[in-house]
Amino acid sequence: MVDVPQLVEQARQGRPRAVARLISLVEGAAPELREVMATLAPLTGGAYVVGLTGSPGVGKSTTTSALVTAYRKVGKRVGVLAVDPSSPFSGGALLGDRVRMSEHASDPGVYIRSMATRGHLGGLAWAAPQAIRVLDAAGCDVILVETVGVGQSEVEIASQADTSVVLLAPGMGDGIQAAKAGILEIGDVYVVNKADRDGADATARELNHMLGLGESRAPGDWRPPIVKTVAARGEGIDEVVEALEKHRAWMEERGVLARRRLARAAREVETIAVTALRSRIGDLSGDRHLDALAERIVAGDTDPYRAADELVEGLTNGA
């Protein structure tokens, strides 16, 4: 048996292996999952969660790494959660990037964790918030959640951060791709990385236009800034941090941060509840109830809606 309270205590003392162990427990839906979450509950809420998303190749990992450096300089403890299959954190990138990240890997003030994007019960939408809770309870001041903006669940994770950063790079037709992927509207801060390349100004202008940033807003409304960076050289990173802090201050001033966290918690509960119900359906499937319904549908004896009614009745009567 795992001694959960001891593990949590060690995590709070800053022991990386305890943090890693706890994340593995919640990620793997271990029997101890519920005890872990219950123990963590009163210890969370201190971290500022920043989501970073964008298409592959815009430089998310490099930017994340540069932000880690910036926050470490001012003594913040930083957690990194990479749910991007192309991220060096999660193991899919070039050696150069990997080497660059390894500097943080040996820093005791930085926790780095990657998550697989496939094969999880209920997907990332379910596991990522739990990993964030572990990092939060372990005393991280800032948690950077890096997701690739391609799948619905990744976009959801990014949009549920306290502050969402959307990254673009010049010359990738990125504005249109981002719009299609549904990530364009979720940014609180926009970063045009690789700004030393041709077309950076055009990308920023296009973005400014697509977001309607030139239009007037009600006083006090948040106007998402567009920051140009060359993350590989650390250029513009201080400006990104400044933009993040401004957004955080704005949210706190207006009660937006509290509302976002409530919405995030509600969403999290809903996801867990739906996953639980789905797994009960899976159990029914095991005893051939679902298969029998499918046979009747294919035979034309019933339709999917009546069959679903039967299934739900079975569930809600404790079958």
List contacts with a second copy (CB under 8 A).
Answer: 33-34, 37-38, 40-45, 56, 85-86, 118, 129-130, 150-153, 180-182, 258, 261-263, 265-266, 268-270, 272-274, 276-278, 281, 285, 290-291, 293-295, 297-298, 300-309, 311-312, 315-318
CB of 38 to a second copy, least distance (A): 5
By beta-carbon proximity to a second copy, the closer residue of 202 and 308 is: 308
Beta-carbon count within 10 A of 304 CB:
11
Minimum gap (Å) between residue 61 Cβ and a second copy: 16
Shorter beta-carbon distance to a second copy: residue 97 or 268: 268
As a three-state string, the secondary structure of 100-115 is HHHHHHCCCCEEEEEC
Q: What is the DSSP letter of 184?
A: G
CB 140 within 8 A of CB 77: yes
Q: How far is the CB of 110 from a second copy (least distance, A)?
A: 25
CB of 293 to a second copy, least distance (A): 5
Nearer CB in complex with a second copy: 105/308: 308
94 or 258: CB nearest a second copy:
258
Burial class (CB in 10 A: 0-12, 13-18, 19+), 96: exposed
| 59 vs 85, beta carbon nearer a second copy | 85
Residue among 67 and 124 whose Cβ is closer to a second copy: 124
215 vs 6: CA distance, rounded Å: 54
| Nearest distance, CB of residue 187 and a second copy, angstroms | 18
Q: What minimum distance in Å lies between the beta carbon of 194 and a second copy?
A: 18
First to last CA, the chain: 31
- Shortest Å distance, C-beta 33 to a second copy: 7
Of 64 and 86, CB closest to a second copy? 86
Q: Which residue, 75 or 318, has its beta carbon nearer to a second copy?
A: 318
Of residues 105 and 179, the one with the C-beta less far from a second copy: 179
Task: Decide if 140 contacts 22 (C-beta within 8 A).
Answer: no
Edge-to-edge order in the sheet of strand 78-83: 110-114, 78-83, 142-148, 48-54, 163-168, 189-192, 226-228
> What is the H or E stretch that residue 225 is in?
none
Q: Least distance to a second copy from the beta carbon of 5, Å?
A: 14
Residues in the chain: 319
**How crowded is residue 267: how many other Cβ atoms within 10 Å of its Cβ?**
15
Q: Which residue from 117, 258, 111, 244 is spatially nearest to 190, judged by alpha carbons?
A: 244
Give the burial string for 236-253 (b: 16+ CB within 10 Å, else e).
bbeebbebbeebbebbee
Q: How far is the CB of 305 from a second copy (least distance, A)?
A: 5
Residues 135, 149: Cα–Cα separation, whole Å: 23
